[in-house]
Chains A and B, each alone.
Chain A
């Protein structure tokens, strides 16, 4: 016998009843109440913590049971079995297992699943998507961080011509545009928009050296364009953001925003390496040495001492390592060119 509270579904009146099981039938007995229902027709709530469980009878009435152990005893003689999610969420062993599994799956998805999906997604997305985002972004930047370029038009033209000569038609990769801008805040810099448009800032154009050195920087940026790094980053950070909102959303949207930025910085390191390798190959095809890009990097690290150095938060891998890697490529390429 298990005591329960019976509600007839017509009013909130409390009826005290006793539950018992006879054969495969549930018997509900109380003042003026005498019901006998096959247990298979009773919907039994899963256990959630120590909340009262409800047994819902086919006629829309229900019994609330507070003594969970007694109810388990009563149900053990019947064919009723708790669902697997139900059991999983209340035994500490399976909860611990779920915690470990969650950690493993989350890390696996972050390290392999997400980069793979973002790379595929960035390739498959209709190009109009990237161009919309890029137009929008450029408009915002032009209204804020970017100024008109002070480079003479003739020089701009000659650089654009050389840049166009650098590009090799490849399947699926749109022809990149080259834009000139200035920005006191961003200094000697260049960046690529998701649709492949490259923005070259005046400080870099004037301080990096001769045209071949500028071309080396542009080759690096073409690497970003070719691999759709902008879109990939966008897709990855949206997915990470969505996950964090879900993970911490119970508590704070704000809290979910912080790690996303850090994670993004970590991700972009591998993109820099990829772009370096692409640039090295491209320069080599045009009879230029990857060493040019290495020169650029060491000059930039002197121009912007703040931006060099290693560490987790660095969006570029330690510059020294990249320079060493490029010089090595230059040596082997030179060897190949001569032999």
Chain B
């Protein structure tokens, strides 16, 4: 997808490209996955925070660059707190929206003020807790920057009926990547908004073509109406229900198997191939076709095995995507310096403050 000035400059370079290597195996991950599931169900979900840490660690520690693996240092307790806060916010939001309470404006206002700040803190949590060669990553985006990206650009996107969505996506990635650090080395982002628009146009064309073929609109509304009755405890002829369910499901499935991976591959390639760490370039070449194939075959195998194939599927997907990423180094990667100890201490303390939790549910 992305054409980094490969060829002569690279072959002339003393430092060959370094691909990420992923050495995880489905059979190993199965043990971790099933023990995670068992303990989570036995603790009615509380263990899921610990399960998440084990899962992330398994994937990070099996991902290697230049013979050194990544590591994750997040604390399960903080993740648990993050989940509880997210759950509480979700409940408050759902409640006020459903009741159409006069408080809704206040709640929305509080959300608008709090969410950008929470998202920024969640980036910080994730990066600060990621390390390579005992050196941590950092996210130093300002709160003001988060408000600009999430509130201002988000608002502009809404009032322009999503015409600005690709632009907002670009601003968001620029905020995220331009403020990321590895030790004292800074990442930078170079993809223009124009290139985001190009990919969104491809997405739009694919969706329109797809929508015309399937005629999803009419089908979708019958389905929601039927679902509504069923959920309210009414009796609907179950066969009609299942027929429309299968149709909608089939349409969604095709969508998820074809258009999802296409967009994901194009946008991921664009984003990572235009991200640099100081003057080390990154190159990402995920093939949409491979992604579709892995996604579709994973889907079939997971269904056939009643879910038991899940760990193999997750490993396959991660391995393929990770190994599509290469670093084009301009050094032997030995010179990265960790942020100053006192600086780390300060960041560490901040990171440990009660609000620096992981918000991903």
Binding site for B on A (CB under 8 A): 5, 7-14, 48-52, 54, 60-62, 64, 85, 88-92, 94-95, 98-99, 101-102, 105-106, 109, 132-134, 136-138, 140-141, 144-145, 186, 189-194, 199, 224, 229-230, 233-234, 237, 243, 246-248, 250-252, 254-255, 257-258, 261, 264-265, 304, 306-307, 313-316
Looking across the interface, which residue of chain A has its beta carbon closest to that of B50? Answer: A85
Top 10 A-B pairs, shortest CB-CB distance: A191-B234, A230-B233, A7-B134, A51-B61, A49-B28, A12-B133, A12-B336, A89-B31, A137-B232, A95-B31
Whose C-beta in chain A lies nearest to the C-beta of B185?
A12
Chain A residue with Cβ nearest B55? A250
Which among A11, A94, A194, A306 has the greatest number of chain B C-beta atoms within 10 A?
A11
Cβ–Cβ contact A89 & B232, under 8 A: no
Expressed in whole angstroms, the Cα–Cα distance for A193 and B23 within the complex equals 53
Contact B30 A95, beta carbon cutoff 8 Å: yes
Identify B99's interface contact among A62, A105, A132, CB under 8 A.
A132
Task: Let me know if B302 and A252 touch, CB within 8 A.
Answer: yes
The interface bits of chain B over 290-312 (1 if a CB of A lies within 8 angstroms of the residue's CB, else 0) are 00000000110011000100110
Which of B145-153, B202-210, B235-243 touches A? Answer: B235-243
Determine if B32 is an interface residue (Cβ-Cβ < 8 Å). yes
Identify which of A13, A106, A186, A257 contacts B236 (C-beta below 8 A). A186
Point out residues on B near A: beta carbons under 8 Å.
Answer: 23-25, 28-35, 37-42, 45, 48, 54, 57-58, 61-62, 68-69, 71, 98-99, 132-135, 183, 221, 225-226, 228-242, 245, 249, 252-253, 256, 298-299, 302-303, 307, 310-311, 313-314, 317, 333-338, 341
Query: Are B238 and A137 in contact, with the CB atoms below 8 A?
Result: no
Chain A: minimal CB distance from B319 (Å):
13
Q: A11-B335, A315-B238 are in contact. Are A89 and B35 (CB under 8 A)?
A: yes
Chain A residues closer than 8 Å to B240, beta-carbon distance? 306
Complex contact A306–B133 (CB within 8 A): no
Determine whether the beta carbon of A261 is less than 8 Å from that of B245.
Answer: yes
Judging by beta carbons under 8 Å apart, are A258 and B69 in contact? no
Beta-carbon contact of A9 and B334 below 8 Å: no
Assuming A64-B68, A224-B233, what are 11 further A-B pairs, CB within 8 angstroms? A11-B335, A50-B62, A51-B61, A52-B69, A85-B35, A95-B30, A102-B41, A137-B231, A247-B310, A251-B299, A315-B241
